[in-house]
Amino acid sequence: MWHRVSHSFPVQLLKLHLKKNLALVGIWVLLVLVFSDNFGKVLGIPYLFLDPEYLNSVSWMGFFLMGIGFAVFTMAFHMTTYIMDAAKFQFLATLSRPFIRFCVNNSLIPLVAYLIYIVNVITFQTDNISEDGWGIFRYLIGFFAGNLVMFLLLFGYFAVTNKDFFVMFTDTLDKQLRKVKVSRANVMNRYKDRKLAKGSVTTYLDINLRPTKVREDLARFEGHKLLKVFDQNHLNLVIIEGVLISTILFLGFFRENEFLQFPAAMSVMLILSILTLLVGALTFWLRSWSTFVVIALFVLLNASSKTSWLNRPHSALGMDYKADKASYNLDRLQALLHPDTLKKDKQKTLEILENWRKKFPENHPPKMLLVACSGGGQRAALWTLHVLQQMHLRSKGKFLSHTQLITGASGGVVGAAFFRELFLRAQDDISMDIADPKYLSQISSDNLNPIIFTLMVNDLLIRNQYVQYNGRHYLQDRGFAFENQLNINTGGILDKPLHAYATPEYQAKIPMMPVAPLIVNDGRKLYISPHSMSYMCVSEHSDITLDEKSQAIDFLRFFEKQDAEDLRFISALRMGATFPFITPNIQLPSDPQMEIMDSGLSDNFGVKDALRFVSVFEEWIAQNTSGVVLVTIRDSEKNLEIEKKTPPTIMQKLIIPLKNIYVNWDNVQTINNETMFNYMKSKVDVDFERIEFEYSTKDFLARQGVTDLSGDVKSKELEVQRASLNWRLTTREKRDILESIHSYQNQQSLDRLEGIMLDGPALK
């Protein structure tokens, strides 16, 4: 029994893969780790597979497409391993439909992965989604239906085209193939493989899944004729590989059609399929030279990527990239921070502050609110919008009129910008309810599917499609896909140039809200605002030529000749919310070229910018307000329990240094912000207080504060899984984010805000 099992074709193929094809096996292992929630959890990667969203909803259709993606990748695995290894098993050539039988016996690894995926889908949907058993069953039916459709199409093709030994040698189908030098070389190499084969396979699984003995009279077949069968099959595989890849890339021309914006996980499976198929194609044509050629092509591509044709910038829509580039050097930066310039910009902002002050009675100085919202992808956008809506309700619509400045990073600024635009429109349309839950659904709608799809069909190769904006043409990329989908999700209300906010901000109809991404070149910030803010770039009264490095660059002045004021506002939001590898860094028209990345790296909470603003206008604030209230909206907890350390494994020792940097970046910024706030509070001659909101993953703390919960509580009962750092949220994650407003701390913060607003002066 042991001999029959160990020498069966499925087991021999498994041993061969573990010995020779570890890279392909590694992809399956990685997928299993993702399915089982052991890889990419912080970024929400498992949920893309376990809860696929299509057309802004999780449905059987999303799982149907996932089934197609799984089937394509599975067939890519079968085709590639067949091309690389089938010649080692000469008995296959004597069977009818040899490739189909190879797939049946090569399905051990995919079968295990499929079972793990199905189990985890059921577990996830049962634990996290308010879905009945029939709903989950429909999801699985959709998945298997997608599998079945794709397998029937592909296996139908192979059933017609792949011939066995006896059929093939009744015609001359392969005469042309034999004339090709590369193919003749392949035959000779495979013939050597055949001679080295030990005939270790004694049984194989037939199409009906019954064990069947391998025929013992293989010696009477001529070796080169057996190998011709494999070559003919290999050619058919290469043909269908080309068709699949061409089809996927052709869809890129229609990627803006929402029906073609497949679930992100399906796009990932198709990307893996393309890479796997390319391995098979290269192996077919190049055999032992494939590794050398791949390395040579990579070196050549890497060297040629410096050319202007391959290294084209990821553009900011609205700006003029054909005008003379803005000079980017220390002399120019110093010139832009001339004392007269600082004075002029400060005076313009003082006029804005005076307009804000006029909204309140002269004899009743108001509280000035500053809102600082943290980054954190879509969870931060949803959490920020939800908190702002609740503040609006509790303050009877007064709080944003008291707010003069909004700062922050990444998703937090996206959510705040959406709310600010709603507030602006509501001033002309009193029927608008800016606290309507529909806006929460809009800001939390999927924004990832079009990004990953565009990465697959466009950005992995050469970007060749353009989009027109404001009379100019820009290369499309996955960054534009992000902007376009955000624009669709928010009903198009943010699709306006930067200068469209100049008048509303000047008239104090809405708070000022600079977007402040980080400049990769030198670590400075870039303040993107419809009003120049050079006073935020350097300390007041400092001599920049001697003792101080400027901390930021004013976007409006620096790119004045490149039409900075025409910048698409959504492009500005994207610049501040650039996520590594997902949305590319934007390059701006300067010399040398300025590259922009996520603002969270320098100030993820927006507190530094808010405190700097208070410092610059301290005197005016003291004379015209009754104090400053800094409202911080965090998508993370400020005070966390100290994690217990356990002896690390070798793998953990390799990962921990990088993990410590990532985990503590939030803590380091929080501690620095605490230091700066306490210093500013003691320095300024005004009443300075702070109200904090947190998206907390530990709801038991809220219950403990209300009910004096004590004693031991099971950790499973206390743990609430934190929403992932992503541009796509599951239903459960959305629910947890929204429910976090009911925590004890957040309710106390709303009570404090309500008290401040009700005690303050009424608007004129």
Q: What CATH number is attached to the domain comprising 341? A: 3.40.1090
Residue (of 637, 739, 757, 638) closest to 391 by Cα position: 757
Tell me whether residue 321 is in a domain.
Answer: no
Q: Give this prediction's pTM.
A: 0.86
Residues with Cβ within 8 Å of 366's Cβ and at least 6 positions away in sequence, in order, are 357, 360, 402, 625, 626, 760, 761
CA neighbours closer than 13 Å in the CB half-sphere of residue 492: 0
- Do residues 275 and 347 share a domain? no
Q: Write down the pLDDT at residue 172.
A: 40
Cα-based distances in Å from 374 to 169, 409, 553, 696 = 70, 6, 21, 14
Q: Write down the pLDDT at residue 115.
A: 96
pLDDT of 227 > 80? The answer is no
Pick from 175-189, 416-430, 582-596: least confident: 175-189
Q: Higher-confidence residue: 180 or 680?
A: 680
Tell me whether residue 316 is in a domain.
Answer: no
Tell me whether residue 159 is in a domain.
Answer: yes
Tell me whether residue 149 is in a domain.
Answer: yes
Q: Give per-residue pLDDT as tens, 629-672.
A: 999 999 888 877 676 777 777 766 666 666 666 667 788 888 99
Backbone angles phi, psi at 711, to 5 degrees: 85, 180
Question: Which tokens belong to 222?
Answer: 């001529």
If residue 618 lies in a helix (H) or strand (E), which one and from where to where? helix 618-624
Tell me whether residue 317 is in a domain.
Answer: no
Longest CA–CA separation in the chain, Å: 108
- Do residues 679 and 718 share a domain? yes
- Do residues 256 and 390 share a domain? no
Annotate 647-700 with DSSP letters as a single string: PPPHHHHHHHHHHHHHHHHHHHHHHHHHHHHHHHHHHSSS-EEEEEEE--S-HH
Q: DSSP state, 57? A: B
- Do residues 383 and 477 share a domain? yes
- Do residues 206 and 349 share a domain? no
Q: Write down the pLDDT at residue 654.
A: 67
pLDDT of 157 > 50? The answer is yes
Q: Give the pLDDT mean for 726-738.
A: 88
Q: Give the pLDDT mean for 515-525.
A: 94
Residues with Cβ within 8 Å of 329's Cβ and at least 6 positions away in sequence, in order, are none
- Do residues 503 and 372 share a domain? yes
44 pLDDT tier (thresholds 50, 70, 90): confident
Write out the residue range of the structural domain in which residue 127 sits: 1-305
- Do residues 14 and 81 share a domain? yes
- Do residues 404 and 550 share a domain? yes
Q: Give the pLDDT mean for 90-94.
A: 74
Tell me whether residue 42 is in a domain.
Answer: yes
- Do residues 276 and 407 share a domain? no
Q: Give the pLDDT mean for 100-114.
A: 93
Report yes or no: 168 and 228 within 8 Å, Cβ to Cβ: yes
pLDDT of 702 > 80? The answer is no
Q: Write down the pLDDT at residue 236.
A: 66
Domain count, the chain: 2
Q: Write down the pLDDT at residue 162.
A: 59
The highest-confidence range among 54-58, 87-91, 684-688, 749-753, by mean pLDDT, is 749-753
CA dist 387 and 405 (Å) reads: 16
Which one of 271, 305, 339 terminates a domain?
305
Tell me whether residue 87 is in a domain.
Answer: yes
Q: Give per-residue pLDDT as tens, 525-556.
A: 999 999 999 999 987 655 554 567 889 999 99
Q: Give the pLDDT mean for 693-709.
A: 57
Q: Give per-residue pLDDT as tens, 267-279.
A: 899 889 888 877 7
One-letter amino acid for residue 616 of the chain: V
Q: Write down the pLDDT at residue 224.
A: 46
CA dist 320 and 56 (Å) reads: 34
CA dist 703 and 542 (Å) reads: 51
Q: Give the pLDDT mean for 148-156.
A: 89
Q: Write down the pLDDT at residue 573.
A: 96
Q: Where are the alpha helices (DSSP H) in 7-90?
A: 9-20, 22-35, 45-50, 60-85
Question: Which tokens belong to 26?
Answer: 């590694």
Q: Write down the pLDDT at residue 658.
A: 63
- Do residues 298 and 398 share a domain? no
Q: DSSP state, 721? A: P
Q: Write down the pLDDT at residue 176.
A: 41
The highest-confidence range among 89-103, 110-124, 145-159, by mean pLDDT, is 110-124
561 pLDDT tier (thresholds 50, 70, 90): very high
572 pLDDT tier (thresholds 50, 70, 90): very high
- Do residues 250 and 338 share a domain? no
Backbone angles phi, psi at 525, to 5 degrees: -90, 160
pLDDT of 432 > 80? The answer is yes
Q: Burial of 759 by CB count in 10 Å (0-12 exposed, 13-18 middle, 19+ buried)?
A: exposed
Question: Which tokens belong to 118?
Answer: 């199905």
pLDDT of 405 > 50? The answer is yes
- Do residues 537 and 618 share a domain? yes
Proportion of the chain above pLDDT 70, given as a percent: 82
Tell me whether residue 514 is in a domain.
Answer: yes
Q: What's the chain's average pLDDT?
A: 83
Residue (of 73, 13, 21) closest to 277 by Cα position: 73
Report yes or no: 235 and 180 within 8 Å, Cβ to Cβ: no
Q: Give the pLDDT mean for 701-708.
A: 44
Q: Give the pLDDT mean for 50-70.
A: 92
Backbone angles phi, psi at 8, to 5 degrees: -80, 155
Q: Write down the pLDDT at residue 79.
A: 84
Q: Give the pLDDT mean for 169-175.
A: 38
Report yes or no: 729 and 440 within 8 Å, Cβ to Cβ: no
759 pLDDT tier (thresholds 50, 70, 90): confident
CA neighbours closer than 13 Å in the CB half-sphere of residue 307: 8
Which one of 305, 340, 366 terminates a domain?
305
